[in-house]
Amino acid sequence: MKKRVFSGIQPSEVIHIGNYIGAVRRWVELQNDPEKENIFCVVDLHALTVRQEPEKLRERTMELMALFIAVGLDPEKSLLFLQSHVSVNAEGAWLLNCVTPEAWLKKMTQYKDKSAKQEIVLTGLFDYPVLMAADILFYDTDEVPVGEDQKQHVELARNIAERFNHHYGETFIVPEPVIGKVGARIMGLDDPTAKMSKSSAHIKGHAIRLLDEPKDIEKSIMRAVTDSGSDIRFSKEPEKAGVNNLLSIYQALTKKSAEEVERDFANARGYGDLKKAVAQVVIAETAPIRERHAELMKDRGELTRIINMGTEKARAISEPRLTDVKRKMGLIV
């Protein structure tokens, strides 16, 4: 039996190199694994958990679907779909709300961080992990490839599955989070003690966005915060966080071992050389993606066709599970 893989990404901002290394690029590898059956979702309902400008959200959603294809996801090989087009996800979230203790959601660190930054915290932001659990559970998912920051949410989905199974009988598969060994937590270039995040992507020098032009990528990397030394090695020491982050980006994109990476920089003359090399590998990886993306955005009709095809397939997978859950919970189906 093939393992079913499910993962998603929000169209809240243009995606950055952290999203790419921590998640999307690994999805492309999974697509070529004959042991996996993959589902990847643009989670537009999740984007609504903070206020969005409607027209911008629509545009970014299309852009993200085009980006899926530009990075190499193939709608014939992987199921690509838009969360809001399949009502099972939102309806399933309601049903799961009714088995999820509020106390579990209060413990979510991402909620604590995000809500601290908002003047008005929307109920949707609090409930976001339950919607994510519905995404995962109603598709009978075995594995969830995500970056480190989403691990707690996948663990919550596991707890919800177990609780439901305990109350209503064996129903949901208890999914496994799958976190990459390299680059599971890419840090901000302007502050290597904080994770690179979409919500800060508009801040100059914070993120490398996947669709940035080569000269902007180079500028951001050359400006990246490092330390006053010149030692180029992987390190967990707080003052080496900037160098460590640049090396992680380099390692993830070149797929070299840590030793090979350090050897590449054994004769470097300071951090300038390191930054130039990192910029080079990032540009080599992203430039073709940017070009393909620009082409794909010209044909909205084709993107709509791909979205509609995904909607049909996603409904066919998730609707039987929704009916099953409703019946078990006592609804007339």
Task: Indicate the residue among 131 and 283 with the shorter CB distance to ligand TYM.
Answer: 131
- Name the 3-class secondary structure at 5: strand
Footprint on residues 165-204 left by ligand TYM (CB under 6 A): 184-186, 195-196
Site track 44-73 with ligand TYM (rule: CB under 6 A), x = hit? --x---------------------------
Q: What angle do CA 8, 11, 14 make, to 5 degrees?
A: 115
Q: What is the distance, to the nearest Å, from the Cα of residue 158 to the centroid of all Cα atoms in its chain?
A: 18
Task: Indicate the residue among 195 and 256 with the shorter CB distance to ligand TYM.
Answer: 195
Footprint on residues 22-41 left by ligand TYM (CB under 6 A): 22-23
Does 19 help bind ligand TYM (rule: CB under 6 A)?
Answer: yes
Question: Euclidean distance between the first and final Cα of the chain, in Å?
Answer: 30
Identified binder of ligand TYM from the candidate list 38, 61, 78, 150, rule CB under 6 A = 150
- H-state helical runs in the chain: 17-19, 25-31, 44-47, 54-70, 87-97, 102-106, 109-116, 123-137, 151-168, 214-222, 241-254, 258-264, 271-296, 300-329
Task: Indicate the residue among 234 and 273 with the shorter CB distance to ligand TYM.
Answer: 234
Does 127 help bind ligand TYM (rule: CB under 6 A)?
Answer: no
So which residues are the catalytic ones? 114, 195, 198
Q: What angle do CA 163, 165, 169 make, to 5 degrees?
A: 140
Does 149 help bind ligand TYM (rule: CB under 6 A)?
Answer: yes
Least spacing, CB of residue 24 vs ligand TYM, in Å: 7
- How many other CB atoms are there within 10 angstroms of residue 301's CB atom? 7
Q: Which residue is nearest to ligand TYM (CB)?
A: 22
Cβ contacts of 241 within 8 Å, gap of 6 or more: 187, 192, 193
Residue closest to 6 by CA, chosen among 118, 122, 144, 105: 144
Does 130 help bind ligand TYM (rule: CB under 6 A)?
Answer: no
Size of the site for ligand TYM (CB under 6 A): 25
Residues that bind ligand TYM (CB under 6 A): 6-10, 18-19, 21-23, 43, 46, 132, 135-136, 144, 146-147, 149-150, 184-186, 195-196
